[in-house]
Chain A
Amino acid sequence: MTVEDALRKVLSKNLLDAAAAENVANCATSKTVKEDYLAGLGNCADTNAAKIFHSDFRRGKVRKGAVVADLDPMEGLGFLAKEDSFKRAIRDAFKMDSLTFETTYRDWLSYNAKRNSGEKPSNQELRAARAFLDSKLPTRMDGEAWLFRNPQQRSDAFEGVLDDHLPKRLGLKLKPGERRLTMSFLAKNVRTVRSPRFLDATWGYLNLWDWRGKTRPLPGLPVSMDGLCETVAVPPKLNDLNRPIEAIAI
């Protein structure tokens, strides 16, 4: 079965939407892999089965896309982390209850704010910062990160793009009431930076990126705002953050 035939079958069964199908069909993956994937997907009875198939199929195949040729070691790569998931992961690593952790976390945020404004952090805030930075924990515990590139290749990934539109511009699934954290790293400190392929996306995000290597903005953005170039990589560590983090309310 050709890629086109397999794709028609998958679309007729409503297992992928148009954007996801476009990503699979066009992304830089070998024809054989696409055929195997789409044939397997086409045999799934429903989206639940398709989700499980997708998750199984991509195992061992993530971050195998092309090396990002024009990546400057000093340019910034960034992402907006879910505050709650981030806090839970670090809290568990610290083996703390939520209240003790929250005190440390707020001190760390305050440290970041003071670094940003040029104020001197208190000893308490410095200790909190050291707790996070010395831990050398990854910024995400699920083993993979999608990082956008600063359009001007600035070292601070968020320079010139941090505004109210950024979460939508990045094509993130968002819940009103949640908070996101700005995380930026120098490219040279990020391991295994690759161009994204559909195999890098989880099922829920299969349609929320663009096979041309850009984020796919959600509807409602000003027309002047395009997607940002993005990469996939091993989640960088906390001590590799290169700008003070900020919490953004959604």
Chain B
Amino acid sequence: MSSLRTDLMEALANGDVADDDGYTALDLIVYRCRTDSGSFDELKSILRNQIIEIIETADDATGLIELFVSLEINDPSLADSIERFVTSGRLREPRRRMVAVTLLRALGRSLPPQYIVNDAELRDVAPLQWLDLSLPVMSDVGEAQNAVVSMITRKELGVDEITPRLHLLWTVCGATPIPFLQRVASAFSDGEQRRFIELVADEFEIKLKLIETTVLHHLPRRMGKLMNIAGGATIPPRDKRMLADHNKKARQNAVVQRFEDFGRAAQR
């Protein structure tokens, strides 16, 4: 067995364990391949000939995804091998199936949706990873929306998880986002509901501060109404006055903030 192959298996077993200087064994393999084309060729050859065995036997095969991504590995024959393997149904462990499907995607190859969307085992074991893989390939928007709402109801998806996944949420909003966002918001508990509205208010480029300050006072009773405001509906005169006051202060704060801090200003 080549030493690089041994190093690779050890690196996969070590996972995210770093040495005193903060480098993992996988980092060192990546750097070696970046700076030495001979090592990179050897690694590609090992992967080409043994990828299935590695996926099946590595202590933690998820490191393979990091390896493929970091080295931008792109090899059609590798994709062929993995695709044949996944479609054969031989992979029993859901996490290893997830790795194989993700590697295929990293190689620019996609499988028919059922291989991932219908994988109930993976959905139970790694719900967020299942969602990340499934949403982009679900052809039916309603199905995708139901998946999101049901994960929130089961407490598998919170605002902390949605924040880095706004791009995914956007893809399943469909032509009329507000009803879907209302469904999502309703699925959250009170505290999360407010945070979610703040998040989407920003995303939908509506008057953030207007929604934000109102929500603080009226959640959850006036939730649907506020979401309608977010969608551009008329604001009742009584609310208009109150919101105008809030908004004035918020605008002043926002202007100061913009000048003070690039990072925060960048979000607006």
Contacts and interface: CB of A to CB of B under 8 A. Distances in A.
B218 interface: no
Interface in B160-203: 160-161, 163-167, 170, 199, 202-203
Contacts of B23: 82, 84, 175, 178
B88 to A, nearest CB: 22
Interface stretch (A1-9, A30-38, A95-103, A160-168): A95-103
B7 interface: no
Contacts of A243: 262
A14 interface: no
A222 B33 CA distance: 30
Nearest to B29: A177
Interface stretch (B98-106, B147-155, B247-255): B98-106
Contacts of B10: none
A128 B260 CA distance: 22
Interface stretch (B62-70, B219-227, B229-237): B62-70
Interface in B27-44: 27-28, 30-35
Interface secondary structure of A, over-half rule: helix
Interface in A173-204: 173, 175-178, 186, 189, 202-204
A12 interface: no
Query: At the interface, is chain B mostly helix, strand, loop or mixed?
Result: helix
A84 B62 CA distance: 15
B70, B105, B164 — most chain A CB neighbours (10 Å)? B164
Given A85-B18, A131-B163, A133-B266, A186 B261 contact: yes
Contact of A82 (B20, B22, B28): B22
A135 B163 contact: yes
Contacts of A29: none
A107 B129 CA distance: 19
A82 B23 CA distance: 9
A243 B28 CA distance: 29
Given A95-B128, A96-B132, A242 B261 contact: yes
Nearest to A237: B263
A228 interface: no
Contacts of A189: 261
Interface of A: 51, 82, 84-85, 88, 92, 94-100, 102, 104, 107, 111, 115, 123-124, 127-135, 173, 175-178, 186, 189, 202-204, 238-244
